[in-house]
Structure 1
Amino acid sequence: MAARLIKSCALLLLLSSAAYAEKLTVIGDAYALGGETLLYREYHYYSEDGMDHRVVYIAPDNSKIAEKSLNYRPGKSTPEVNHQAWLYPEKIQIAWDSDQLALAYTDNDAEQKTATLDANWPLVIDAGFDNYVRENWPSLLTGASLEFYFPAPTRMSLVNLMIKQKLCAAERQNDVCFSVNSSNWFIRLLLDPIELSYDKDTQQLSRFRGLGNMMDKEGNGLKVDIRYRYQGLCVDEALCAPLLSEATPQ
């Protein structure tokens, strides 16, 4: 009896620790670029040591439309990624195989594409870009243009991108802004840059404007204006996350 009680208590503690192993840290409200139509919300959860990062994407009807997990142990700007979307069926995996990148991509239940690529440096992967900005903060504030490589799983290749400081188009007064675009001048003529706004004091991303990583039901990339809220102790009801349903992804 005592042994069973001890075992039950141990199991309860294990389940409790698992339930609180990650904390909701950031909420991103994604609006249609140039408008006020809410497209979805991002809920960012981090483990206590910051090495694991989970993003849950929730539609306005409270259904889960995508989920992404990142493992930062290979590097703060070069995490492993596992992304699954259901609004438009898509699965992306980026993993390290020794000093090479293993990419896997499935689009709308089509046959999976895979590739193993040599890593070109400096390399930035997915949300590791946020850490890359902070790591290079002093250089960026001097006006330097920094080039880096970024995996494009849909193309099974690395693309060469560039980031530099720019004037802020958004309203926040305490922000510093950066533009991200192709390092190829011809491609820059064809693509709209992404604008990132960071708080000058905290170096936290406050706004993302441009083509995001989510697609609509037809598979078209969504151009979004994402405004980020940092939870902290979450004492203000306006900042706290609404309760999420356990809706089955459609």
Structure 2
Amino acid sequence: MKMMRKSALALLLLAATGTCYGKTFEFSGEARGTNGKVLYTEYHRVEGECTQGKFRPLDHRVDYRQPEQDDRFADKVLRYQRSPLQPEVDFNQPRFDEALRISYPGEDIIEVDWQTPAGETRAFNVPLAGRAVVDAGFDNLVRQNWSALQSGRSVEFRFLGPTRGELYGFMLEPNDHPDMEAHLEVAIRPTSMLLRFLVDPIQLGYNDRGALTDYLGLTNIRKNPDANYLAHIRYQVANYPECELTP
């Protein structure tokens, strides 16, 4: 009886704060190269909670697999307990003996530990500055600024280059792409004119519910020890959470 009263109290507290556990958000992506050939597939599972009717991600796992194969060749785990924009990251590509860890030993520091394909170990401590975004945090940045982007406004932020140990200036801006048919299409571009000559923009597409439909650009999956794949990844949602993805 006492346990039942405790459970009822917990539910009342969750209702009072507007927080409840959200149904898992699941989606997959198929990455194709410039020649149209399938390079690999991604399988995403995001556990989170519903706060004031909006989904907040907490734990996100990604398995990367060869086409029509069950065994994964790479995996990534992201933990968003700190911030939807600044997850902890644990990324492994065993076939290249590569591992990347991103953590936060203090409030104002990003710690990067990178085991390179060449067998070296590199470590960086990067001071947090401005609106800092790490790894897949850009996806949540789009959702947080959904209305602004839909109205045609740009959003500036700083993005972590983990293998460089530095935050770089970037912007999200509405931009239609001929290879996409999405409800909202945005480009990620460097703010520096010099970097614009060196770094191609990444194009993103979203459906009207705020789910990613397209990613076009350089990926985090290696083609060889010296270069990553350039791909168009098209996503399909298998399961939406019980609350909204966008404000």
Report the TM range for the smaller structure's normalisation: 0.7 to 0.9
Cα deviation for residue 35 of structure 1 reads 3.0
Q: 1:52-201 to 2 correspondence within 5 Å?
A: 52-60=59-67, 62=69, 63-99=71-107, 100-108=109-117, 110-172=119-181, 174-199=182-207, 201=208
Conserved 8 A contact 1:55-1:67: yes
**Equivalence for 1:47:** 47
**Equivalence for 2:15:** none
Alignment: residue pair count? 209
Letter in 1 for 2:146: W
Letter in 2 for 1:190: L
CA distance in 2, matches of 1:89, 1:146: 36
CA distance in 2, matches of 1:113, 1:55: 24
CA distance in 1, matches of 2:226, 2:96: 6
The runs of 4+ residues in structure 1 deviating greater than 4 Å are: none
Letter in 1 for 2:95: L
Residue deviations 1:176-200, cap 9 Å, x none?
211111110122123221110111x
SS in 1 for 2:149: helix
CA distance in 2, matches of 1:183, 1:37: 32
Range 179-188 or range 109-118, more displaced: 109-118
Cα deviation for residue 231 of structure 1 reads 0.2
Letter in 1 for 2:79: N
Conserved 8 A contact 1:180-1:195: yes
Residue deviations 1:86-114, cap 9 Å, x none?
23221111101121111111112522111
Structure 2 runs not aligned, ≥5 long: 1-22, 50-56, 241-247
Structure 1 runs not aligned, ≥5 long: 1-21, 234-250
CA RMSD, 1 decimal: 1.8
Residue deviations 1:214-245, cap 9 Å, x none?
11133311101000010028xxxxxxxxxxxx
CA distance in 2, matches of 1:121, 1:85: 31
Conserved 8 A contact 1:42-1:56: yes
Cα deviation for residue 61 of structure 1 reads 5.5
TM-score, normalised on structure 1? 0.78
1:35 aligns with 2:43: no
Letter in 2 for 1:122: R
SS in 2 for 1:94: strand
CA distance in 2, matches of 1:110, 1:79: 25
CA distance in 2, matches of 1:167, 1:48: 31
Range 70-79 or range 212-221, more displaced: 212-221
Conserved 8 A contact 2:117-2:225: no
SS in 2 for 1:216: strand
Conserved 8 A contact 1:194-1:210: yes
TM-score, normalised on structure 2? 0.79
CA distance in 2, matches of 1:77, 1:231: 24
Cα deviation for residue 156 of structure 1 reads 1.4
**Amino-acid identity (%):** 29
Return closer, same or farther for 1:135/1:23 CA change in 2, 3 Å cut-off.
Answer: closer
Conserved 8 A contact 1:87-1:216: no
